[in-house]
Amino acid sequence: MSADEATDVTELLHAWRDGDSAAGEALFARIYGELKKIATAQLRGERPGHTLQPTAIVNEAFLRLMRQHGIDWRDRAHFFGLASTMMRRVLVDHARARNRLKRRSNETPTAFLATTGDAPQAELIDLDRALVRFAERYPRQTQMVEMRYFAGLEIEEIAACLDLSPATVKRDWQFARAWLVAELSGGGTGGR
Amino acid sequence: MNDDELPGLFAEALALADGERRDFLAQLQGRDPELAAELARLLAGAATPSRLLDLAPWPIVAGEVELADDTPPPERIGAYRILRELGRGGMGRVYLAEEATADFRRTIALKVIDRPAPDALRRFRDEVRILSSLEHPGIARFIQGGRDSDGTWLLALEYIEGEDLVAYLRRRALPVAQRIELFLAVLEAVAFAHQRGVVHRDLKPAHLLVGPDGRPRLLDFGISKLLDPETHESLAVTRTEARALTPAYASPEQFRGEPVTPASDIYSLGVVLYEILAGQRPFATGGDSRAALERAVLATDPEPPSQAARRTGAADETGAAHPSRPPQRAFGRDLDAICLKALRKDPGGRYATADEFAADLRRFLDGRPVLAHRGGWRYRALRFAGRHRGRIATYGAFGLALAAIAFAWSVQERSTMKGSAAIGAAAAGAQPPSPVSVASTGTESVAELEHRFAAAPASLEAGAELATALLRDERFKEAAVVMARARQLPGAAEEPLLDKVEGLIANSLDEPQRALALFRRGLANAANRGRSDLVPSLQVALARTLSDLGQAVEGRAVLLAGRAEAERLGDRSTLALALNDLAVDELMQGNLAAGERLLEQALVPAHSLADLSRVGFILDNLSGIAIERGRPDLAEARYREAIDVWEKCGRKQRAAIATGNLALALADLGRSTEAAAAREAAIAALRTFGDRSAIAVVLASRANAAVDAGDLAAAEHDTDEIDTAAQAAGSRESLAYSEELRGRIAWLRGDLAAARRNFEQAENMHVADGDLDLAAEIAILRATEEYREGASGTAEALLTAALARLEGGGEGTTAILAEALRVGIEASTGKLAEAQARLARMGDQAASPSLTRQLAYLAARGTLAASLGRSEEARSDLRRAATLAGAGARPAVALELKLDLAALEHRAGSSLGASVALEVENAAAPLGLHHLVARARAFRTPRSLQTLR
């Protein structure tokens, strides 16, 4: 990485933090590949049975950026906010790929995403679709869901990142969770 | 309807109780049926558990990501036959393989690079180089590394078929001492690697396998780094790693992506030790997410492992909660301190080497004071004081002030500086400041100094003075801020005064390594700038820090140099301090007389200082020593002087504590009425200060006096109050006092089983707190009682265990009591020659001014005389002891001594025994001392009749 690129990432991150969504897009492209690479490498590197967390992957990505681009430690929360959206894409893309593979090979592959040993890829894809619908009506809450659900941020961190009170974030999460559960259980909340 | 309305309504409805919620929905139904239906669905969703949503973020079970990549392992690689795949790494795979030649056959772990990137090969070569330098029984053996004949890169390692350290220990539920022994073996291996400049960087239980031989082995130096021998920082810091750190064991600096040093391994080992002791990892309660863990590692202090263990029941003190497990030795403050030192956020605050870590653990195992405690010097002084606090057989608790003093003294002295007023003049080549000006700067208020610094913001001296004053008020953080401001001033970098003050602040903030560097630099700066006046105080400060860090030899040398320098320059403040520190060194080694001499010397310069509090500290310390040396007469005079000094300084709380201690001296002089008056005055004064721990000690002393006086109801009343206060304050030490008292009361009432439980409990509490000396005192008390029950063997065993716990203190009263008891045991088990020699070694304690010593000595001498058939001498000694005890308001003690006499008469077949026993019975019965009554009854039947039955 050149020094220019380093400044670039830092500046983009700051611009995005200050509300420049184009900067977010630019960063997105740059960091997505990094996240995917780390996820794959980590999963391959660990012995079977060892577990990793999406948060760990996001964090590793951040550590790398910090070392390579000199990103300030204080930008961590903002980076996490951004990375959570990317993590969602990484994980959902992967789930889609696994699903295709599974259908094709008709054998049970070793679990990639698993909670209790079986793979919730299909559920994850459904959740992603539900989130798309949720986002149409509640964009702010969607970002919060991504941070909490895909990057494992805590309420307080999300609050700091979105500049909200922890109580608000907690309320938003309860709401989003209820909405998504209702949506996924087939009830749907209507096509509005 | 409105989407924006829904979240608010949902929150509102969620907060309602079930019935109210129904009403809420019904109401909404009337206004907007659609919205009401949607809200109802949401509320149902809120009540439905969802695996997908509630487990987020999900753990990912690692497995093969790409099916295409899943080729079966080859049958052979080079000279090795492949048995199965063990795992995959970023650059290749690891197989379990067999190496078979004509002569032998062994199983190995074989690492193979099958994705040879240039970087991977370089790292592979690094690993080969590192591993081949690490030949140690505690590290998985390196067998072969390099390129095979067909060009494949191979690394062959010893294959350890073992269990990870934590799982191994959990399964076996070994006692704490054995767990630590195993951990020490790990430390030894890590120390070996560090000495060769290798940092492991990923130490965790999975990399610490215990083999079938029960020895732990270190595995996987895969991400280890070679260190720069100069800076001890890892080379190639910027090299990216495809491999994740293990968050649960990663140090704060690893989370931050900062350079990794041996201190990072020390941290990871601290986590492992914590897990071994507490049954869980340090930040286990903060939530499972990586973010929560990271925040905890970076920002919060872990709970002491002993507390966590109590909560989880992992190291239950009695083992009672785990009937299947062996009773485990309790661990407490010492191990907490060791573990938490390894877990400090600041790498410089941790053990500097694995060897230091190990040495402190060995100190714990040997029952010696550990160095890990915050402010080691302070801690050691406290430990010395602790020895004087307990209560033994027939004399009251004493020395409570000593603990408080040593602490206050060290805080005060660490923050005392001199010469700041004269800096400008000294820099211009003037004389060092006079002691008077020194002392006066120490008495100015923070407000005055703040004002002065504000008026002269460019003055280094004003800043240093203000920082010093803040330090004296224990406002460490503010002091550090002031110093940071002063450091911005021109010339600050070369100013030794600032080095000194900043070093004192660093010490107070528990950063001894930084303090060490500052004091050393200060000495260099002082030499460069001709500030010889600052040298002695810098030397003494340096000596303390060295001694805190366990570098006792250098510390002592520097301290002696500091004393000489202070004497030469007439720096009396520093001289007093140096002499005090030298005295503490002597006291620590049990050299009471030498310590006393040094403190007496320290009084001389201290008296010439305007700040009298220093005299107060020294007098308090001297008084405590006087009591321990069996000189309550001297102690009385010194405590009275100390009270006077404290009053003069306006330090009423210290005066009250000294008064409480005066009571102990008076009681030991047999002046019970005066003692009681002093005790009441102390309790009343301490209550106004709300000093709960001091009140507990004085109450314990009053309760012990009540037991000695046979007033069990009064003793019980005080014991209850101690209990209540101890529970409110969460003070285990105070609880131990009340347990001990309950034991004494139960014993005299005849419930020996309950009493034994109480004593054991009290002893365990002291051990758990690391107060081995107090535990030893209780064991001696128990031994005395068991001996009187005729259980010489039990008494002997208790005594031996107690003596093992008493460090030093050979001249002290505790040791005298143990010796006296041993004389009795030897005399009654036919070891007459030994008993005679031992009694002679004790010196003539009958002439001691200490009632406690007289009683113990007379009892021992009487018992021995009886065993030698000299009944007249025996009778005379025991009668005299009983009379003395009675006169000292210790009737219960007198009755016990009379029972000793009755036992002797009884054994000799004299009818006198029966009459003495009757006398005891008549006196003990109305007091409710049932046990003494029961024992007395046994002697009322002549021996001849007993044997006929």
Instruction: Specify the long-range contacts of residues B70-76, CB closer than 8 Å, at least 24 apart.
Output: none
Which among B10, B63, B242 is the nearest to A110, CB-wise?
Answer: B63
C-beta of residue B531 within 8 angstroms of C-beta of residue B499:
no
Which among B51, B240, B290 is the nearest to A59, CB-wise?
Answer: B290
Kindly state whether B730 is in contact with chain A, defined as any CB-CB distance less than 8 angstroms: no
DSSP secondary structure code for residue B283 in this structure? T
Q: Tokens for B68, please give them.
A: 């295409």
Which residues on chain A are in Cβ contact (under 8 Å) with B240?
Answer: 64, 67-68
C-beta of residue B727 within 8 angstroms of C-beta of residue B735:
yes
Please state the φ and ψ torsions of residue B155, each to the nearest 5 degrees.
Answer: -135, 115
Kindly state whether B50 is in contact with chain A, defined as any CB-CB distance less than 8 angstroms: yes
Contact A178 B243 (CB under 8 A): no
Taking the C-alpha atoms of residue B898 and residue B909, their distance in angstroms, rounded to an integer, is: 16
Q: Tokens for A56, please give them.
A: 């760990």
Q: What is the mean pLDDT of residues B768-787?
A: 78
The closest of B797, B736, B802, B795 to B773, measured between CA atoms, is: B802
Q: What is the pLDDT of residue B752?
A: 92
Residue B303 has pLDDT above 50, yes or no: yes
Q: What is the mean pLDDT of residues A4-29?
A: 64
Taking the C-alpha atoms of residue B719 and residue B166, their distance in angstroms, rounded to an integer, is: 42
DSSP secondary structure code for residue B844 in this structure? -
* Amino acid at position B23, single letter: D
Encode pLDDT of B437-468 as tens digits.
333 334 456 667 777 666 666 677 888 888 88
Q: At what angle do helices B930-938 and B891-907 cross, to 10 degrees?
A: 20
Q: Where does the pLDDT of residue B839 fall: very low under 50, low under 70, confident under 90, or very high at 90 and above?
A: very high
Give the helix ranges, DSSP H, for B146-289: 165-172, 176-195, 252-255, 262-278
Which residues on chain B are in Cβ contact (under 8 Å) with A180?
Answer: 45, 50, 53
Residues above pLDDT 90, as percent of chain A? 3
Would you tell me which residues 833-892 of chain B have a C-beta closer than 8 angstroms to some C-beta of chain A?
none
Contact B60 A60 (CB under 8 A): no
Contact A40 B65 (CB under 8 A): yes
Q: Tokens for B41, please give them.
A: 């669905």
B829: exposed, middle or buried (Cβ count in 10 Å: 0-12, 13-18, 19+) = middle
Which residues on chain A are in Cβ contact (under 8 Å) with B66?
Answer: 44
Place of tokens 């036959």: B81
Helix (H, G, I), strand (E, B) or coil at B490: coil
Kindly state whether B68 is in contact with chain A, defined as any CB-CB distance less than 8 angstroms: no
Taking the C-alpha atoms of residue B612 and residue B538, their distance in angstroms, rounded to an integer, is: 22
Task: For the full predicted model, state whether its pTM sits above 0.80.
Answer: no
Kindly state whether B57 is in contact with chain A, defined as any CB-CB distance less than 8 angstroms: yes
Give me the torsion for CA of B551, B552, B558, B560, rounded to 10°: 180
Return the number of other C-beta atoms located less than 10 Å from residue B622's C-beta.
23
Which residues on chain A are in Cβ contact (under 8 Å) with B1?
Answer: 192
Residue B563 has pLDDT above 90, yes or no: yes
Which residues on chain A are in Cβ contact (under 8 Å) with B89?
Answer: 45
Residue A106 has pLDDT above 60, yes or no: no
Q: Tokens for B230, please give them.
A: 């100069």
Q: Tokens for B442, please give them.
A: 């120490």
Contact A120 B48 (CB under 8 A): no
Helix (H, G, I), strand (E, B) or coil at B71: coil
Taking the C-alpha atoms of residue B653 and residue B118, their distance in angstroms, rounded to an integer, is: 72
Task: Detail the DSSP E strand segments found in B311-393.
Answer: none
Ranking B103-117, B699-713, B885-899 by mean pLDDT, the lowest is: B103-117
Kindly state whether A185 is in contact with chain B, defined as any CB-CB distance less than 8 angstroms: yes
Q: Where does the pLDDT of residue A72 fall: very low under 50, low under 70, confident under 90, or very high at 90 and above?
A: low
Of all helices (H) and strands (E), which one includes residue B865? helix B851-867
Which among A40, A45, A138 is the nearest to B89, CB-wise?
Answer: A45
Contact B46 A64 (CB under 8 A): no
Which among B50, B60, B89 is the nearest to A53, CB-wise?
Answer: B60
Return the number of other C-beta atoms located less than 10 Å from residue B585's C-beta.
21
Ranking A19-28, B210-219, B388-397 by mean pLDDT, the lowest is: B388-397
Quote the minimal CA–CA distance from A26 to chain B in Å. Answer: 23
Contact B57 A177 (CB under 8 A): no
Tell me the DSSP string of B495-546. Answer: -HHHHHHHHHHHHHTT-HHHHHHHHHHHHHHHHHTT-GGGHHHHHHHHHHHH
Peptide bond into A166 cis (omega under 30): no
Region for residue B327 given its phi and psi (left: phi exceeds 0; alpha: psi -120 to 50; beta: otherwise): beta
Return the number of other C-beta atoms located less than 10 Å from residue B258's C-beta.
17
Q: What is the pLDDT of residue B506?
A: 83
Our CA angle for B826, B828, B833, nearest 5°, is: 45
Contact A113 B58 (CB under 8 A): yes
Quote the minimal CA–CA distance from A130 to chain B in Å. Answer: 12
B48, B58, B70: which to substitute to probe chain A, counting the most A Cβ within 10 Å?
A: B58
Taking the C-alpha atoms of residue B183 and residue B281, their distance in angstroms, rounded to an integer, is: 16
Q: B58 to chain A: nearest residue by CA?
A: A115
Which among B50, B60, B290 is the nearest to A112, CB-wise?
Answer: B60
Residue B103 has pLDDT above 80, yes or no: no
How far does CA B777 lie from the centroid of its chain? 19
Taking the C-alpha atoms of residue B653 and residue B659, their distance in angstroms, rounded to an integer, is: 10
* Amino acid at position B27, single letter: Q
Which residues on chain A are in Cβ contact (under 8 Å) with B242?
Answer: 38, 41-42, 45
Please state the φ and ψ torsions of residue A159, each to the nearest 5 degrees.
Answer: -60, -45
Encode burial over A135-161: b for 16+ CB neighbours within 10 A, e otherwise. eeebeebbbbbbbbbbbbbbbebbbbb
Q: A136 to chain B: nearest residue by CA?
A: B3
Q: What is the pLDDT of residue B814?
A: 78
Which residues on chain B are in Cβ contact (under 8 Å) with A40?
Answer: 65
Q: Where does the pLDDT of residue A142 fall: very low under 50, low under 70, confident under 90, or very high at 90 and above?
A: confident
A35, A60, A74, A180: which to substitute to probe chain B, counting the most B Cβ within 10 Å?
A: A60
Kindly state whether B454 is in contact with chain A, defined as any CB-CB distance less than 8 angstroms: no
Q: What is the pLDDT of residue B730?
A: 64
Mark whether B202 is an active-site residue: yes
Strands B92-100 and B153-158: unpaired
Beta bridge partners of B208: B218
Q: How many residues does chain A have?
A: 192
Helix (H, G, I), strand (E, B) or coil at B216: strand
Kindly state whether A141 is in contact with chain B, defined as any CB-CB distance less than 8 angstroms: yes
Which among B11, B256, B295 is the nearest to A175, CB-wise?
Answer: B11
B672 CB contacts (<8 Å, ≥6 apart)?
A: B666, B705, B888, B889, B890
Q: B13 to chain A: nearest residue by CA?
A: A175
Longest Cα–Cα distance of chain A, Å, equals 53
Residue A182 has pLDDT above 80, yes or no: yes
Which among A101, A110, A175 is the nearest to B10, CB-wise?
Answer: A175
Contact A101 B3 (CB under 8 A): no
Quote the minimal CA–CA distance from A32 to chain B in Å. Answer: 16
ipTM: 0.74
Quote the minimal CA–CA distance from B664 to chain A in Å. Answer: 55
Which residues on chain A are in Cβ contact (under 8 Å) with B223?
Answer: none
Place of tokens 């500290």: B617
Q: A73 to chain B: nearest residue by CA?
A: B256
Q: Where does the pLDDT of residue B701 fall: very low under 50, low under 70, confident under 90, or very high at 90 and above?
A: confident
Contact B7 A50 (CB under 8 A): no
Q: Rounded to whole angstroms, what are the CA distances from B453 to B423, B447, B457, B505?
A: 15, 10, 5, 18
Q: How many residues does chain B have?
A: 949
Encode pLDDT of B408-420 as tens digits.
333 333 333 222 2
* Amino acid at position B728, single letter: A
Would you tell me which residues 201-240 of chain B have a C-beta closer than 8 angstroms to some C-beta of chain A?
238, 240
Q: What is the mean pLDDT of residues A101-122?
A: 37
Which among B7, B53, B67 is the nearest to A180, CB-wise?
Answer: B53
Place of tokens 């490498």: A41
Which residues on chain B are in Cβ contact (under 8 Å) with A123?
Answer: 52
Quote the minimal CA–CA distance from B56 to chain A in Å. Answer: 5
Kindly state whether A153 is in contact with chain B, defined as any CB-CB distance less than 8 angstroms: yes
Q: What is the pLDDT of residue B274?
A: 93
Q: A54 to chain B: nearest residue by CA?
A: B57
Q: What is the mean pLDDT of residues B903-932?
A: 87
Taking the C-alpha atoms of residue B680 and residue A93, their distance in angstroms, rounded to an integer, is: 79
Q: Which of B59-68, B394-403, B783-792 has the highest mean pLDDT?
A: B783-792
Which among B14, B55, B88 is the nearest to A174, CB-wise?
Answer: B14
Q: At what angle do helices B912-927 and B930-938 cross, to 10 degrees?
A: 160
Q: B92 to chain A: nearest residue by CA?
A: A45
Place of tokens 């020194």: B438
Beta bridge partners of A113: B60
The closest of B719, B746, B789, B759 to B935, measured between CA atoms, is: B789
Strands B198-199 and B225-226: antiparallel
Encode pLDDT of B358-380 as tens digits.
988 887 777 665 555 433 333 33
Kindly state whether B428 is in contact with chain A, defined as any CB-CB distance less than 8 angstroms: no
* Amino acid at position B627, single letter: I
Q: B289 to chain A: nearest residue by CA?
A: A152
Q: B11 to chain A: nearest residue by CA?
A: A171
Catalytic residue, chosen from B126, B202, B336, B668, is: B202
